[in-house]
Copies of this chain bind each other. A is one copy, B any other.
C-alpha cells in the first residue's frame, strides 16, 4: 500500500515542486518495479501525478498491457544513490541498485519534464559526487532571548520546533523532506549548533521528539542528525567531567548513543561546535579536538553514524590592539597539526572561507591541507551577511567558485570535500519557506551543487526557474525566464558592490549583522578589522610583512596572494593593506573603485527592481507582491550602504569622486 504524497499546508508555497511540474510524468503510463519504503514513496509520487493528470501507474507488468512510457526499476538492494537514465525505443527507463537512487531518478525525470520522454536514444549514469549533502538548521527549541527561535533565521519560526517542543503537526516537515530530496539533499541536522539548556535534552529524555522528525523525513531518504553539546556528560549525565579520555565519559556517550539508535535506527550522527564562541570543548581538559571528536566517533561507529566536528575555532575575545593575532589563521593553525588523528567516521566541518560567510572571502586554506582527514565544507544558505533574505542574493556563483577552486592546483574543493557539503539552512515556517521567495533558489542550487559540484550554476538556476515558475503555465515563458535571470544572475556581485569592498569584509551592524556600520567591528573583540586610516585600508596577511596567513596556502596560491600585484582585485584588501591611490588590475584606484561599485550596486538594485516589476503579469500575485515589497527594503538598504561607505571613505581619504557624484 503506497504512502501518500505529503499534503502541503494550505498557506505553503509549493516551491520547486508545484503540481504542474508533474504534468509530463502524470499524463503517462509508468511501471514501477521493486519494493521497499522509498519505492513506495516513488509510487506515491507517480500515483499522485497520474491521479491529477490522467496517467497510469502499475507495479506488476500486466500481461498484454500496452507498453509503458516510463519504467522505474529497482535492481538491487544496495545503499547506492546512483541511477541510470535510459532513453530507448520510445521508452524511458530509470534503473537503480538502491532505493534512494530510484527516488533521485524519479526527480530527475520530473526535472527533465517533456524532455524525459523525447529525443535521441541516450544512456546516462548519475551518481552524486558527494555522499553527504546536508542542511544544518540553527533552530532553537526554546526561543532564545537574543537569537530567537532560529538563530540567524530570516524565514519566520522553526519548521521543526514551536511552543517549546517538536511540532505535533508535521505536514510541513514532510513537505520539506520532499523538497530536499528533489534537489538532492540527504541529511538534516535539526537543531542549533549553539546547544542551549533546553536543546541539550534532545539527546536524552527528549530524543522521542527528534525521532518524530526523523520519521517525517525518512520517507524521502533523509537521515536526521543532532547538534549536541560537548559538556553533555556534565549537564545531562551529572558526571564530574566531560574529559574525552575519561572512561566514564566515554561510557556515558556510548550508552546515550545506543539509546539514540534505539529511537532512530538510521540516525545520521552528531554535529558539534566545541571550544567556539563560548561553547565548551576539549580544551578545558587539555585534550585535542581529535580526542573530542574521536570519543563521539567511537560511540557512533558501530551504528554507522558520523560526528561532524566544526573547525570554527578561534579567539573571540581578541584585543583589537593586538595585530599579531589573525582570526583568519585560526582554523588552519588549530587543526592541521591533527591531520591523521581523526577517526574514519569523524568529519571535520570547515567553513568555506577563513572568517565567517562574508560576501567575499578566499577559500579556507584548511581545505586540502589535511589529506588524512575527512573534511566537510560548510556554506551558509541563510543570508546572515548577504542581505538576510530581504535582499536578493543568489549565492550559486559564489558557491560554484568555491567548489571549483583548486587549493593545490589539483583537485577542486568539490572533490576534497569527501566528508560532505553542508549548508546552514535558510528555511523556516514562512509560507514561502525562505522568507524571500527568490531565496528558494539558494537552497535548490546548494542541493544540486552538492550532488554535482562542477555543475554550471546557471544551468541549475534554469532548472529551478522552470520547476518553480512552471513556464508551461504562463503566457510568455521566454520573458519570464529572462526576467528571472536578470534579477538573479548578478545579484551576488551586486550585493558585493554595495557592501564591504575588495574582500575586506564585515562593516556590518554589530549583533544582528544587517545594514552598514563601517567601524561596527573595528574596535571589537571579534577579530574582524579593516584598519582603515587616512591613507589606506586592508589587512596585511602577507608572509613578508603581515600575519603570515597567505603562507597557509600551498603553491600556487601562496605566491598569488602574497604580493599585491598578483593578488586578485576582489581579495586585495583581505590580503593587503593598500593606499587609497593604489591602482587595481581594473585600472581604477582603490578609492575610486569603492565609489564606483557603491554607486553601481544601487543602480543595479534599482534596475533589478524594475525588472521584477515588469514580471507582474507572469508571476502569482502573492509571490510577486512579496518580492516587490522586499525590493523596496533592499533599495533603501543599498542606498544606506552606498552613502555610509562612501561618506566614511571620503571623510577619511579626502579624495573626491572622479565623477563628482553626491557623497555626504
Contacts and interface: CB of A to CB of B under 8 A. Distances in A.
Interface of A: 145, 320-321, 516-519, 523, 532-535, 640, 643-644, 647-648, 650-654, 664
A338 B169 CA distance: 61
Given A523-B648, A534-B653, 9 more contacts: A523-B640, A523-B643, A523-B647, A533-B650, A533-B654, A534-B652, A534-B654, A535-B654, A652-B652
A100 to B, nearest CB: 46
Contact of A644 (B517, B523, B648, B650): B523
Given A533-B654, A654-B533, A321 B523 contact: no
B523 A651 contact: no
A290 B357 CA distance: 54
Contacts of A650: 533
Nearest to A518: B519
10 contacts: A321-B643, A321-B647, A517-B519, A518-B519, A519-B519, A519-B648, A523-B640, A533-B652, A534-B534, A652-B652
A362 to B, nearest CB: 25
B321 A651 contact: no
A533 B644 contact: no
Nearest to A509: B510
A89 to B, nearest CB: 68
Contacts of A648: 519, 523
A145 B653 CA distance: 41
B534 A523 contact: no
Contacts of A533: 650-652, 654
A517 B644 CA distance: 16
Contact of A523 (B145, B516, B535, B654): B516
Contacts of A651: 532-534, 652
The 4 closest A-B pairs by CB, nearest first: A533-B651, A321-B664, A519-B519, A534-B534
Nearest to A535: B654
A515 to B, nearest CB: 10
A651 B648 CA distance: 13
A282 to B, nearest CB: 30
Contacts of A519: 517-519, 648
Contacts of A652: 533-534, 651-652
A31 B445 CA distance: 91
A577 to B, nearest CB: 12
Contacts of A653: 534
A644 B648 CA distance: 17
Contacts of A321: 643, 647, 664
Contacts of A523: 516-517, 640, 643-644, 647-648
Nearest to A322: B664
Nearest to A145: B145
A109 to B, nearest CB: 51
| Residue among A145, A523, A648, A650 with max Cβ neighbours from chain B (10 Å) | A523
Contacts of A647: 321, 523
A663 to B, nearest CB: 10
Nearest to A664: B321
A533 B648 CA distance: 8
A522 to B, nearest CB: 8
A476 to B, nearest CB: 41
A209 B237 CA distance: 46
Contacts of A517: 519, 523
A634 to B, nearest CB: 18
A651 B321 CA distance: 13
Contacts of A532: 651
A153 to B, nearest CB: 18
Interface centre among A516, A519, A653 (most CB of B within 10 A): A519
A267 B56 CA distance: 83
Contacts of A534: 534, 651-654
Contacts of A654: 533-535
A518 B644 CA distance: 15
Nearest to A511: B511
Nearest to A643: B321
A135 to B, nearest CB: 30
Contacts of A516: 523
A534 B320 CA distance: 22
A648 B320 CA distance: 12
A357 to B, nearest CB: 23
A578 to B, nearest CB: 15
Nearest to A321: B664
Contacts of A640: 523
Nearest to A654: B534
Contacts of A664: 320-321
A534 B650 CA distance: 9
A517 B652 CA distance: 17
A523 B516 CA distance: 9
A650 B533 CA distance: 8
A664 B320 CA distance: 9
A582 to B, nearest CB: 17
Contacts of A644: 523
A321 B523 CA distance: 24
Contacts of A145: 145
Contacts of A320: 664
A527 to B, nearest CB: 15
A510 to B, nearest CB: 8
A381 B593 CA distance: 49
Nearest to A655: B534
A263 to B, nearest CB: 36
A532 B533 CA distance: 13
A320 B648 CA distance: 12
A442 B34 CA distance: 84
Contacts of A535: 654
